[in-house]
Amino acid sequence: MEFLSEYGLFLAKTITIVAATLIVMAAAVANAMRQKKEGKGNIVVTHLNEEFDQYRDEIRKAVEDEGTFKQVAKAERKKRKQEQKAKKKAGDTGDERKRLYVIDFNGDPKASQTDGLRHAITAVLSMARKGKDEVLLRLESPGGMVHAYGLAASQLHRVRSHDIPLTICIDKVAASGGYMMACVGNTLVAAPFAYIGSIGVLLQMPNFNRLLKQKNVDFEMVTAGEYKRTLTMFGENTEKGRAKIQEEIQEVHNLFKDFIRESRPGMDVDKLATGETWQGTRAKELGLVDEIGTSDERIVSACADADVYLVAWEKKRNIADKLGNVMESALDSTLLRWLGRSNSKDELIS
């Protein structure tokens, strides 16, 4: 038994070392390949009308008897053929039908999806027709870095500058930088309980200077320029430095408010730029949004008289990326199982 125990321990260590080595190698290869092929990808277009028709047919097939289902399907096919024949006879190529282009943006602190947004908008603008087509952005973001969200908002301005109507739908949250993006839209639509606003700016960082002093550790920093560094994580911060950073943050806040005034001239920005958030219904009363509703309602309704396309930019994933993701998922699952076993049945895991 002692031999089996030692062998089991040796085997566990070996597996752990091999797994860790493979993960590191996969991560290194994935990173190298990612840098080599950065930016490469392709536009993926989904015709949502057809997708919704498939949903309906699946439900109909489940709830109706087979005979009725076949009759209805046959009648619809016949109707579509007749409509296409009539359009062809009248010389209508179908170009007159409105198109709605749907783009998704799920924001993080770095607004990482801005690159994909840029590609999607470029693709849409190559086909969108003035006076006929429209763009709908499904936006979800709690905000983040000012410069990153400023760039994302600038991408949306490209749609406005081409005289293409832009509708922004907020189902969950558009706060801070997310609301900066939302303001660019011609029409803002928010779900009743979506969080809207947070028109403010903040900067926060820890300071370890007192801890370093306790450990007799000196921190040296050499700069050129009075305000090259105002607040630091390790140095002793001064009231002058704090005052300067407060001035800079206030300037960014003023730029934020000016941006909103330009985008939504009827809104009382000074009253609402307090950093507070409001839920959709209250946000409409205050003028932060124009309508109450969900993106699903807008898209499904548009399918009645328009061709609706979901446009997305997808980066190409090589084998190393996929291997890295698989190993990462496996490691996460293993750690979660171990965590679950280490807790008693009376404890909750969050």
Q: Is the dihedral of CA 195, 278, 271, 189 positive or negative?
A: positive
Q: d(Cα 181, Cα 329) in Å, to the nearest integer? A: 33
> Which residues are CB-contacts of 195 (< 8 A; sequence separation ≥ 6)?
172, 173, 174, 175, 277, 278, 279
CA atoms within 13 A on the CB side of 308: 21
- For residue 40, give the 3-state DSSP assignment: coil
- For residue 174, give the 3-state DSSP assignment: strand
Catalytic residue among 36, 215, 228, 345: 228
Q: Which helix (H) or strand (E) holds 313?
A: strand 306-315
Contact 178, 141 (CB under 8 A): yes
Catalytic residue status for 228: yes
Q: d(Cα 93, Cα 96) in Å, to the nearest integer? A: 8
Q: d(Cα 69, Cα 320) in Å, to the nearest integer? A: 47
Catalytic residue status for 176: yes
- Residue of 151, 70, 60, 48 whose CA lies nearest to 105: 151
Q: Which residues are catalytic?
A: 176, 228
